[in-house]
Amino acid sequence: MVAVTTAVCRFVAVNATTAGFAYLLVVLAVATAWGLVEAIVASVVAMLCFNFFFLPPVGQFTIADPQNWVALFAFLATALVASHLSDREKKQSLEAKLHQREMEQLYALSRSILLSDTSKAVGSQAAQHIADIFDCKGVALYDSKTLEIFRGGPEDLPDVEGKLKQVVMQGAPVTDDATHLLVAPIILGGREIGGLALQGISLSDGGLQALLNLVAIALERVRTEEAARRAEAARQSGEFKSTLLDAIAHEFKTPLTSIKAASTSMLGDTAALTPQFRELATIIDEEADRMSLLVTEAVRMSQIDAGKVHLERKSVTVDHLLRGVLDHFSAKSEDRVLGVGKHEGLPRVYVDEELVSLALRQLIDNALKYSPPGSPIEISTGLSQHHVLIRVCDRGPGIPERDRERIFEKFHRLRPAKDRVPGTGLGLYIAREIIRTHGGDLWVEEPSGSGSEFCATLPVRDEDVKG
């Protein structure tokens, strides 16, 4: 182009100034069309041509007039600055284009991740999407929770597993220039949740960060959904169990009703029964009771496990509560229970009366069953800041320290008692769950004397404390 310009200018025989401007146009054109290097080369060549062909003495590289030196350098400087500016502009526009493309790719990825089918492995879908959208030769996505690696793209990326794990451990990205492999950790909330290996990808740092964030969100979304699905499944299974048990309970109670009615009818007719038949009828009666209790408690347990228990709380006095509990026991047992009706100074407790009565009944029933006949059961109460403490102490053999937690487990019964005392092994579990649902607790205390000592705390509302 410089040569053409020179030829044209010579042929038309323009003056030196016009030729200089023509060269300048050429340099600008070169700078716009190609790059900075080409523009500089063009500038230098144009300067030399300008000097050689147009500045006197023409046909030599020497310059006679010092003014022409100034003109020559002005030309060179203008050419260089112009080509530099033009080149920068071009680079910026190129960058903007790349940036836009990146944005488009990231948008496409976020769309495809959001719309991905959650019934299939989202990791492998994400890896495939990344490979497709970013035109990557190989993608490997590592989920550090499930320890799975999902691959996408035509290349397999062998040995990438170790690198991914290493990057997740270190928390900083690694680039291998020789193989064009970029391995970066996926971080969400300051915690590494996986790693991403990309081969042959060209992305800015910002673009890479955005890509990693998108993948992190995709993984997290799947995890959250999975957790929610599991919780829902557990709830449904609990509810199903509870409903099923409820139905079974009804089926069991129907024949039990006939058995119980028949056995008690027999026992009620004292004159007609010989001692032997009385004993046998008593056994039928007791076992019917036991079976009925077992069914009731199994249903209650499943309701508690399924979270189906709704508390209907109100403020009641401890006295009222304990009296209600005692109403349940026969007069003979009631005489053994001491300390009821001596709790005047206590604030009202804020509880579901029916359920807490059931729990307390269980404690007293337990104490009656596991202590010698006729021995007293003592109930005492106390107050801590937001709780009323109720203690039930008996004079039985006590509970060995290692069993003090285990007796609250489902179906757990202490071995020596198993053979003597009828029970289901559910009562204490239910009692504790009821009290804990109220925000209180139930435990076995280190006894001060012999026997065992159960402590239950029941919540008190602030407005009831003063009363």
Per-state percent for the chain, helix, strand, coil, to nearest 5: 60, 15, 25
Q: What is d(CA 305, CA 445) in angstroms, rounded to the nearest whole number?
A: 26
Considering just the CA atoms, what is the radius of gyration of the chain in Å?
Answer: 45
Q: Give min distance, CB of 289 to other proteins, in A.
A: 8
Q: Give min distance, CB of 354 to other proteins, in A.
A: 5
Q: Give min distance, CB of 226 to other proteins, in A.
A: 37
Nearer to other proteins, 104 or 354 (CB): 354
Q: Give min distance, CB of 240 to other proteins, in A.
A: 19
Nearer to other proteins, 151 or 300 (CB): 300
Which 3 state secondary structure label does DSSP give 378? strand
Q: Give min distance, CB of 227 to other proteins, in A.
A: 33
Q: Give min distance, CB of 127 to other proteins, in A.
A: 55
Q: Give min distance, CB of 255 to other proteins, in A.
A: 7
Nearer to other proteins, 358 or 389 (CB): 358
Q: Give min distance, CB of 338 to other proteins, in A.
A: 21
**Which of 361, 366, 462 minimizes the C-alpha distance to 408?**
366
Residue 375 sits at the vertex; the CA angle it makes with 372 and 381, to the nearest 5 degrees, is 120
**Which of 5, 9, 8 minimizes the C-alpha distance to 43?**
5
Q: Give min distance, CB of 343 to other proteins, in A.
A: 16
Nearer to other proteins, 216 or 322 (CB): 322
What are 141's strand-pairing partners?
A: 150, 196
Nearer to other proteins, 89 or 251 (CB): 251
- Parallel/antiparallel/unpaired status of strands 377-384 and 337-338: parallel
Contact footprint for other proteins (CB under 8 A): 249-250, 253-262, 264-265, 268-269, 285, 288-289, 292, 324, 327, 354
Q: What is d(CA 294, CA 411) in angstroms, rounded to the nearest whole number?
A: 11
* CB-based burial label for 167 (10 Å; 0-12, 13-18, 19+): buried
Nearer to other proteins, 219 or 351 (CB): 351
Which 3 state secondary structure label does DSSP give 444? strand
Nearer to other proteins, 327 or 405 (CB): 327
Longest CA span, the chain? 154
Nearer to other proteins, 235 or 314 (CB): 314
Which 3 state secondary structure label does DSSP give 43? helix
Nearer to other proteins, 223 or 253 (CB): 253
Which 3 state secondary structure label does DSSP give 175? strand
Q: In the numeric block, which tokens belong to residue 404?
A: 């003090």
Nearer to other proteins, 119 or 254 (CB): 254
**The dihedral sign for the CA sequence 288, 294, 295, 297:** positive
Q: Which long-range contacts (CB under 8 A, 24 or more apart) does 15-23 make?
A: 15/54, 16/50, 16/54, 16/55, 16/68, 16/71, 19/50, 19/53, 19/54, 20/50, 20/54, 20/71, 20/75, 23/47, 23/49, 23/50, 23/75, 23/79
Nearer to other proteins, 180 or 328 (CB): 328
CA-to-CA separations, 8 to 38, 78, 219, 333, in angstroms, rounded: 22, 22, 67, 127
Q: Give min distance, CB of 314 to other proteins, in A.
A: 12
Q: Give min distance, CB of 229 to other proteins, in A.
A: 32
